[in-house]
């Protein structure tokens, strides 16, 4: 006996909508970990390793949310991809994923994300329940996910200017090179570094070179290998 029309309405109403997530991450292990975690939580997941591949996948997959690693290797970054996807108006919730505690240590400013784009730190995805809860929150539109604005994050006490000086110092530039790049004086850079040492509680009279110690803390906070140890 064929079901009555109202029975079809009932079945459609009771049908569970499966939420779709696109993971864009160039590191295979992290990508697989995220996919497995989301699939176990009941999400349908698609993956891509580059911006170009992501744009191809999204046209066929139609995700509810896209999680984009900031550093995707050669080519456009996750931030670039976020702006492209935002302008193309796919109607997808966007979240960038990174080792960095905030955008400043990656060389960006707080405003260098599309409006409404979330920020998720890789060091906080080890807790699957917290990770899934964060994704659920973004999809539901209940709260903007901006872990880069968490006051307890590493280097949060430094200003944007200090973060940039520290980032350039950690990259191996001399005070003179930093001054040239920022169109200032070596003396000004030196004073900025002194302020950084003071905020971070680095002893400038100790056995450890304060410049090396500051760079080491930057590498640690940003989840980057310490080049000074190589």
- Structural domains of the chain in order of their starting residue, each with its CATH number: 19-149 (3.40.50.2300), 160-225 (1.10.10)
Distance in angstroms (rounded) separating the CA atoms of residues 214 and 158: 12
pLDDT digits (tens, 9 = 90+) for 67-80: 999 888 888 989 89
Distance in angstroms (rounded) separating the CA atoms of residues 144 and 119: 9
pLDDT, greater one: 7 or 138: 138
Across the range 86-107, mean pLDDT stands at: 80
pLDDT at 110: 66
pLDDT digits (tens, 9 = 90+) for 103-127: 777 777 767 788 878 888 887 778 8
pLDDT digits (tens, 9 = 90+) for 146-193: 544 555 566 778 887 888 888 888 888 999 999 998 888 989 999 989
User: Phi/psi class of residue 42: alpha, beta or left (left: φ > 0; alpha: ψ in -120 to 50)?
Assistant: left
% of residues, the chain, pLDDT over 90 = 20
Indicate the pairing of strand 20-24 with strand 65-69: parallel
| Count of helix runs (H) and strand runs (E) in the chain | 9, 5
Coil, strand or helix at 50: coil
């Amino acid at each position: 006996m064929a079901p009555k029309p109202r029975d079809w309405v009932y079945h459609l109403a009771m049908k569970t909508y499966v939420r779709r997530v696109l993971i864009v991450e160039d590191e295979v292990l992290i990508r697989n970990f995220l996919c497995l975690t989301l699939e176990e939580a009941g999400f349908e997941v698609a993956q891509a390793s580059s911006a170009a591949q992501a744009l191809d996948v999204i046209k066929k997959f139609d995700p509810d949310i896209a999680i984009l690693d900031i550093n995707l290797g050669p080519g456009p970054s996750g931030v670039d991809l976020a702006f492209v996807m935002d302008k193309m108006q796919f109607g997808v919730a966007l979240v960038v994923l990174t080792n960095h505690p905030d955008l400043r240590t990656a060389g960006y400013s707080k405003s260098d994300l599309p409006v409404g784009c979330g920020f998720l730190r890789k060091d906080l995805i080890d807790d699957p329940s917290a990770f899934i809860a964060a994704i659920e929150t973004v999809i539901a539109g209940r709260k903007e996910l901006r872990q880069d604005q968490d006051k307890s994050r590493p280097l949060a006490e430094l200003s944007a200017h200090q973060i940039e000086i520290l980032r350039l110092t950690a990259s191996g530039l001399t005070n003179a090179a930093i001054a040239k790049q920022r169109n200032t004086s070596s003396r000004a850079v030196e004073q900025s570094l002194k302020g950084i040492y003071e905020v971070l509680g680095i002893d400038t009279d100790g056995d450890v070179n304060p410049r090396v110690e500051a760079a080491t803390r930057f590498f640690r906070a940003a989840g980057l290998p310490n080049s000074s140890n190589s």
